[in-house]
Amino acid sequence: MEVCRQRRQQGHSIPRLSTLAAKRASREASWRPRTRDSTSTSSSLQPRRYREVKCVVIVAIDIGATWTRVAVFEQRRMLAKKVFGTAGGEKLLERMVEAVLELVDRGSIDAIGVGTIGPLDIRRGAIVKSPNIGGKTIELGKPLAKALGTPTYIVNDCVAAVWGEYVYGIGSENLVYITLSTGVGGGAIVDGHLLLGRHGNAHEIGHMVVDVTGFMECGCGGRGHWEAYAGGANIPKFAKKLVQVWAEKNPNIKRHKFYQSVLEGVTVEKLYQTARQGDKLARAIVDEINRYNVVGFTTTTNVYDPDTIAVGGSIALNNKDLVLEPIARAVRESRDLVTAPPKILPATFGHEAVLYGAAAIAEEPPKHLLKAIEYNTNNT
């Protein structure tokens, strides 16, 4: 990035991290993207060739609906990380800045990348009325760049994740990232071009309609949205409404030992754990959630024509046998596809996909992102 080139041209050395972070770095082996076995049914893709590392110290931030993660990267290696519960408004910004400064000196940062829940106004770097944080609008771009005094790049969390896969991981020119977590989201690269859209929301696949009956209401107020059926924040409500409908048709369901747990608001973790243990009612609920997941994955495939879909998020990654494998099988066999089925794989960087993606956005921001944002004083 320009800030790095200027420092080197002026004969300045790049500042190092704190002694604590340096010690931690010395204990950690350098990360490498996974190279998948070519005999595996999941993928034979090799990681994209590394480009020259341009910046030494990068701050990456992942703002999720439940947790916010702040990490420091040096030479594409994560050195230190802090995690705290996501809060709204000025408190979120304040806690982010505090976390950054606890990890690294202000003057040592070359760039900041942020992957956040949306919707966004990408020009301002603002979260706009996100249903996952109480419908609040939070200005991040200008306040964060000013507080930390360094170029800042803010994109949707899944856009960051798919860019991380492109720059550091899978490297496909036609690639989609989907998260199944508190919410449902996506990011897409088509012919090597990261899709952003007019406001930075070209990828809000969690709000595509997967059920025209509108059985469930989404947190955004719409009905029939994918996230209303498969997002972790909505699954307990969907499961409850589902078994109540089933019980009207078959009252014997009420005798099932898991029925009452669902009515009381079963957690997502408990639902999948119970399904894995062989409970028929829990498994039926999971299968119904997957039915909507398959509609979402199939429609996403028809829209973007990817050769690979990388999947992240706690629901998918913690339940690969009940989520990823059935979805991949159903998409392969689907008659609704108008293109070749993609490979469907776990995200290369697992639960930290957005952090690595935010680091990639800061290190190699796409040119059209640089043109779009208005909050950096010098973003070229």
Could you give all domains of the chain from N- to C-terminal order, each with its CATH number? Answer: 2-167+351-372 (3.30.420.40), 175-347 (3.30.420.40)
Beta strands 308-312 and 120-121, pairing class? unpaired
- pLDDT grade, residue 90 (50/70/90)? low
In whole angstroms, give the CA distance from residue 28 to residue 79.
Answer: 8
For tokens 């519960």, name the residue: 85
- pLDDT grade, residue 25 (50/70/90)? very low
Gyration radius (Cα) of the chain, Å: 21
For residues 218-225, give the mean pLDDT.
94
* Beta-ladder partners of 217: 223
In this prediction, residue 60 carries a pLDDT of 98
Average pLDDT, the chain: 85
Please answer whether residues 87 and 136 qualify as being in contact, where contact means their C-beta atoms are separated by less than 8 angstroms: no
Q: Percentage of the chain with pLDDT > 90?
A: 71
Q: Percentage of the chain with pLDDT > 70?
A: 82
- Write the pLDDT tens digit of every residue in 363-374: 999 999 999 998
pTM for this entry: 0.84
In this prediction, residue 65 carries a pLDDT of 81
Question: Is pLDDT above 80 for 14?
Answer: no
In this prediction, residue 260 carries a pLDDT of 96
Q: Lowest mean pLDDT of 12-21, 222-231, 306-315, name the range.
A: 12-21
Cα angle: 119, vertex 122, 126; to 5 degrees = 65
- pLDDT grade, residue 220 (50/70/90)? confident
In this prediction, residue 54 carries a pLDDT of 52
For residues 117-123, give the mean pLDDT.
89
Q: Lowest mean pLDDT of 124-133, 280-289, 299-308, name the range.
A: 124-133
In whole angstroms, give the CA distance from residue 230 to residue 76.
Answer: 33
Alpha-carbon distances, residue 250 vs 30, 243, 244, 245, 289 (angstroms): 56, 10, 10, 9, 20
In whole angstroms, give the CA distance from residue 345 to residue 28.
Answer: 26
In whole angstroms, give the CA distance from residue 319 to residue 310.
Answer: 15
In this prediction, residue 89 carries a pLDDT of 62
